[in-house]
Each structure stands twice: as structure tokens, then as C-alpha cells.
Amino acid sequence: MFPEHLYARAEEAIAGFAEPDIYAISLWCSYDEDDTRRPTLVVDYNTETQVEQVLLTGEDAPEPDEARWNYAYWLQSMPVEIGGSSDPTGLRLGQEWIKAAGLWYSDGQEESDFEATLELGSAIARRFEASCLQAGQRLHQEGVLEKAFGRPIPVLVHELEYQPHHADWAIAGNPPELVTEYVAWIESLSS
């Protein structure tokens, strides 16, 4: 089943992250080739060292909260993609999962009734995002983060563009004290 594959591969990826100053894990909900029928979870991390380096870039340096929480400034050197073209098993499981939910549509259907397939794509995205959030919650519940890093760290489920609901996802997926700063940063984006 696709949600189990997401979790197992995320757990495996995190076990391989070895930087000593990792402070957060990113679970980026994405879509291979921008196609919702190809849901892809990108698992990555950032370090305190990277934040310090970004803040030393001179006049173009972002604000400290931006450097710390915006994935655009993260290392992005070892992301693990689950479910996309680099994970054929995950791609197949993801498509089977979509079909089992009755949400699959063909390219022909997309051409003939774009609005209907847009609604199906939105339903796929909601289910996929919920599965990513559940994977993040489970990483905490099963002690994966404490085992890997010696302490709990936040798991940030997000999309490419940060939205106000990402604060809700952070609160739902983590012990509250781990995401206070992140939530404040997300909320500052819409004020």
C-alpha cells in the first residue's frame, strides 16, 4: 500500500541522515512532472551550519527565520524522492492507490473534461497530503527521530509554496514545542 511505502522509505532515509546538527526534517508533497497522478514525497533535512552559511551571504542574506524555515535556503543536497520516476515501485503503488480510491483519470479524460479531472486531482492531492502528514506523525510516534538524532526534531510537511495551512499541519504532526518558531514564521507570511 502506498502510504506504508511512503512511511517505510522516509524512515529509511532518515536513518541515513548523518549530519550532527540537523534541526528539522522536510516532507515536501510534490508531483512528478506536475501530475497529481504521480505523487512524490521528497524527504530532506537542514542543518544549523547551513543556516549560518546562508546568513553570511551578505546584502542578499534573508532574515534569520526565512533562512531557517524556507526550504529554498536548505541544503537540498541529499533529498530522497519517494513515489516519483526515481522510485518505480512507489510510482506503481501510488497509481494503484489512486485507482483503488476511484480517482484515476486518463490523459484523454483530462483533454475532454478538464474541470472534472481538476476535481479528481484535488481529491488525490488531499489524500496524498494526509498520507504525508500521517507519515510525519508516525515518525514521532515510533521514535524514529529520537533514535536517529538523539532528540525529537520537527517534521515539516509542506508544498512548494508555503500556505497558512502548513502551520496547521506542523501543529498536527509534531509536539507543539518543536514547531513554535516555524508556525510563527508561516503566520508572518500572511500578515
Domain edges within the chain: 2-189
Q: How many CB atoms lie within 10 A of CB 29?
A: 20
Tens-digit pLDDT profile for residues 111-163:
999 999 999 999 999 999 999 999 999 999 999 999 999 999 999 999 999 99
Q: pTM higher than 0.95, yes or no? A: no
Instruction: Give residue-wise pLDDT tens across range 24-74.
Output: 999 999 999 999 999 999 999 999 999 999 999 877 889 999 999 999 999
Length of the chain: 191
